[in-house]
Amino acid sequence: MTSFLLIIILLTCSVSCIKKDQKPFKFAQLCDTQLGMGGYEHDKKTFKQAVQQINKLNLDFVVICGDLVHNANDSSYADFKSIMNGFKVPCYPAPGNHDVGKKPTDSSLQYYRETIGKDYYTFENKGSSFVVTNTQLWKVQLEKESEKHDLWFENTLDSIGKNANIFVVGHYPVFITSPDEEEKYFNLPHENRNKILRLFKEYKVKAYLSGHKHETIINKIGNTQLVSGETTSKNFDNRPMGFRLWEVSADTIYHKFVPLKL
């Protein structure tokens, strides 16, 4: 098997066993738009290019898996929102460590909530439920806020139910190569990792979409796909910049990489 074919197999994935009454839909997964990471003007240009390409695809919505900007301030957030508002479909961002801080505080969360919006929430689309999380509250314990987020996450999954099509969106990968790996900068602590994976299994979560690593990482545990996608700012694995196109139907969940046309 050639390396080219192997790459296609690894980066184009599908799963089955979803609800038969699922109506088909498509959406895009953007990761780490992170204005200022790959050069501020460069990152604005690539984000705008992603918006232009996505607008031509007749999708239902877009999710952004955190690190919206590199330095969270009024100017960068204004530029981010200006470009994001160019989408012709709804856009649902999740916060990253660069958005709410490596060690979030009450004030950094308040600033994000006042400037961007809710840092964790849910939305529905054609029979599927999407749970958008603040993974920084899993990575670092913040008094009251982390506990509140944990309770919300479990109660939300419980209210959606075990027979639903559930997708979870966040920033941090749960793990990089193995659920048992050592905690480092790019993954979540063991205690929260184990709890999250248990809930994924219990509530039959179809996929967990994340970013943060600036590399393409596709894992599967049980029936849950864990996908950290390509960025529009800077990829550490030298892959082209771009986004993931997801297609959900009654038979499969399929996703593929779409490069930016620069």
DSSP 33-68: --BTSS-HHHHHHHHHHHHHHHHTS--SEEEEES--
Residue-range domain boundaries for the chain: 26-259
Q: In whole angstroms, how far apart are CA 130 and each of 170, 209, 238?
A: 11, 10, 30
Condensed to tens digits (0 to 9), the pLDDT of residues 195-210 reads 999 999 999 999 999 9
Instruction: Report whether pLDDT(16) > 60.
Output: no
Higher pLDDT, 59 or 12: 59
pLDDT tens figures, 149-175? 999 999 999 999 988 899 999 999 999
Instruction: Give me the pLDDT at residue 44, please.
Output: 98
| pTM flag (> 0.85) | yes
Tokens in use for 42?
Answer: 């460069």
| Mean pLDDT computed over every residue of the chain | 93
- 227-237 pLDDT, tens digit per residue, is 999 999 999 99
Say what percent of the chain tops pLDDT 90. 88
CATH 3.60.21.10 fits 26-259, yes or no: yes
Q: What is the token pair recorded at 69?
A: 């900007």
Express the helix, strand and coil content of the chain in percent, nearest 5 each. 30, 25, 45
- Residue 23 has what pLDDT? 86
Q: Which residue has the higher pLDDT, 17 or 113?
A: 113
- What is the structure's pLDDT at 19? 58
Q: Report the range of poorest mean pLDDT among 20-24, 80-84, 143-147, 208-212.
A: 20-24
Per DSSP, what are the bridge partners of residue 69? 35
Looking at per-residue pLDDT, the higher value among 242 and 262 belongs to 242
Residue scoring higher pLDDT (103 or 262): 103
Give tens-digit pLDDT for 89-98.
999 999 999 9
> Which pLDDT belongs to residue 9?
39
pLDDT at 1 over 90: no
Which percentage of the chain shows pLDDT scores above 70?
92
Q: How far apart are CA 124 and CA 134, in angstroms?
A: 18
